[in-house]
Structure 1
Amino acid sequence: MNGPLLSRREGNCQVLTFNAPARKNALSMEMRAELYDALLAAEQDAEVRCVVITGAEGTFCAGGDIGQMNETQLASARTRMRRNTRLVQQMLTMGKPLIAAVEGWAVGAGFSLAMACDTVIAADNARFQSGFGKVGLAADLGLFHTLPSRVGMARARQILMYNQRLEAADALSLGVVDSVVETGQSLQAALHQAEALNDQAPLAVAATKAMLAGQLEWAFTREVDWQSQLLISADHQEGKAAFAEKRAPRFGGN
């Protein structure tokens, strides 16, 4: 299989791998759809006890695919955001634990997906960054909910507003990640972590996830409203142009 998302079974664990290394595993709409379908299938498979999410060839995910951000109408932007919401709701509320095995960059949407996992294991070369503001967007894929849940509101504000880059050691000290291992070892460490679930009752684990998910509806409603408007803003168009031209953006606030 050579699609944008690879899936294989390792014991009782389903391993899902972002597979667009030429684009640093940028999260395309096709990849999002396949990830949602794979997570749904894993939840419905009684033999799967855990899902590990990782990226091919040394990068977790360098953000959303800028080339696919072409919305010009509010209605189409809202449709895009509802698909995002569907994906992250599945991640946060499904009854199977998710473990992120992060090597290299986890930026933008990649950062959001890592934070939507229950456990984050980072290689010592991992780097985390919001990145959304550089292309005229606010954080999405649940990051306004998941990041404060990990690090607290004050620290999340600094990371999101100022686009702070976090090295693996800093991410560990702040609680952004749960453990750090040597480069190239994050997937093996994630699979080892997954083995601990074999001693846990599946229904109890599912109940724990449901209780910890908290109240998500308000956060997702606001995310759809705000990000839909930002996707059709002039600042987002400038941010995309600056990204493509490898220059600093010149935002006008409109």
Structure 2
Amino acid sequence: MSDQSLLFEIDDGVATLTLNRPESRNAMNMPMRAALRDAIYSIRQDRSVRAVILRGAGTAFCSGGDVHGMSVQTAEEGRNRIDDLHGWISQLVDLDRPTIAAVDGVAYGAGFSLALAADFVIASPRARFCMPFMKLGLIPDCAAFYTLPRAVGLARAKELIFTAREVSVDEARGMGVVLEVVESETLHARAAGVARALADASPIAFGLSKRALNMSLGSDLRTMLELECVAQAVALTTEFHREAVQRFRDKATPLFTWPVA
């Protein structure tokens, strides 16, 4: 990424995307948006990537969109600006590999939405979350209308959006937004450990399960049962399943274990 607003690294099958504008608390400007788009599309095409970590440089995750670049002249321009986000944010939400957000400091606006696009959020004690859009006369973006109610429930999502209040890490954990709270000094190591552990899961079983879970709240029972039949039929034919069964019979070390040490 030539402007370095996003650092993109792959190490042993784990891709790390670091929002890299610490001087603005990693506010998301247009170059960063373009870099995120390119990185996520690249990850989707690269099957050697087994897990993804989202993090921020410095002492913040992401303070939201860069207000200096928000001005638009027409409704069409504004719609196109947000619609451009939808291609890559939907690809991230639906990515068939584990995604971990390591949140240190603020996750405001689009930063909160970006964290919600991950499967799990691991946060430091100084993490803070907010949907401040009402203060600016705007609405949430980056798929928050989809992800936030699924994380906290409809009534709580309304409260967070309508009041634009800040949420502490402990409250966010109680709501189900945050999976774990760890000290800032160990946050990124913990996120990497979780990502590497999940990367050892069956990529087919994980991907099928994630897609089914993302569909579940918008589908009926019969649809989900049929999806279960088809997905399990595929999973039963994988080499991962065959080897896992053999290891169980042999009392050997499992291919996938939890919790993370």
TM-score normalised over the length of structure 2: 0.79
Determine helix, strand or coil for the equivalent of 1:64.
coil
List per-residue Cα deviations over 1:101-126 (Å, max 9, x = no partner): 00000000000000111110001110
List per-residue Cα deviations over 1:155-182 (Å, max 9, x = no partner): 1111111112111111111111111101
Question: Conserved in 1, the CA contact under 8 Å of 2:51 and 2:199?
Answer: no
Deviation at 1:58, TM superposition (A): 1.3
Give the aligned partner of residue 210 of structure 1: 211
Question: Conserved in 2, the CA contact under 8 Å of 1:8 and 1:15?
Answer: yes
Deviation at 1:198, TM superposition (A): 3.5
List per-residue Cα deviations over 1:16-35 (Å, max 9, x = no partner): 00001111100012111111
| Matched residue type, 1:156 | A
Q: Distance in 2 between matches of 1:216 and 1:128?
A: 24
List per-residue Cα deviations over 1:34-57 (Å, max 9, x = no partner): 111101111211211011000001
Q: Distance in 2 between matches of 1:51 and 1:19?
A: 16
Deviation at 1:7, TM superposition (A): 1.1
The aligned runs of 1:95-110 (5 Å cut-off) are 95-110=96-111
Question: Conserved in 2, the CA contact under 8 Å of 1:122 and 1:179?
Answer: yes
| Matched residue type, 1:106 | A
Identity score, percent: 39
Deviation at 1:184, TM superposition (A): 2.8
| Matched residue type, 2:146 | H
Residue 201 (structure 2) pairs with residue 200 (structure 1): yes
List per-residue Cα deviations over 1:194-221 (Å, max 9, x = no partner): 122233111111112212222899xxxx
Question: Conserved in 2, the CA contact under 8 Å of 1:18 and 1:31?
Answer: yes
Give the aligned partner of residue 153 of structure 2: 152
Q: How many residues align?
A: 217
| Matched residue type, 1:68 | G
Q: Distance in 1 between matches of 2:36 and 2:186?
A: 23
Question: Conserved in 1, the CA contact under 8 Å of 2:100 and 2:191?
Answer: yes
Question: Conserved in 2, the CA contact under 8 Å of 1:92 and 1:209?
Answer: no
Deviation at 1:185, TM superposition (A): 2.1
Q: Distance in 1 between matches of 2:206 and 2:51?
A: 10
Deviation at 1:2, TM superposition (A): 5.9
Deviation at 1:86, TM superposition (A): 1.2
- Largest Rg, 1 or 2: 2
Question: Conserved in 1, the CA contact under 8 Å of 2:104 and 2:127?
Answer: yes
Can you give the 5+ residue segments of structure 2 that lack an aligned partner in the other structure?
219-261
Give the aligned partner of residue 93 of structure 1: 94
Determine helix, strand or coil for the equivalent of 1:185.
helix
The aligned runs of 1:130-169 (5 Å cut-off) are 130-169=131-170
| Matched residue type, 2:121 | V
Question: Conserved in 2, the CA contact under 8 Å of 1:32 and 1:87?
Answer: no
TM-score normalised over the length of structure 1: 0.81
Q: Distance in 2 between matches of 1:162 and 1:65?
A: 21
The aligned runs of 1:51-130 (5 Å cut-off) are 51-130=52-131
| Matched residue type, 1:66 | V
Give the aligned partner of residue 252 of structure 1: none
Can you give the 5+ residue segments of structure 1 that lack an aligned partner in the other structure?
218-254
Determine helix, strand or coil for the equivalent of 2:165.
coil
Question: Conserved in 1, the CA contact under 8 Å of 2:8 and 2:18?
Answer: yes
Determine helix, strand or coil for the equivalent of 2:126.
coil
Determine helix, strand or coil for the equivalent of 2:7.
strand
Structure scoring higher RCO (CA < 8 A, sep ≥ 6) equals 1
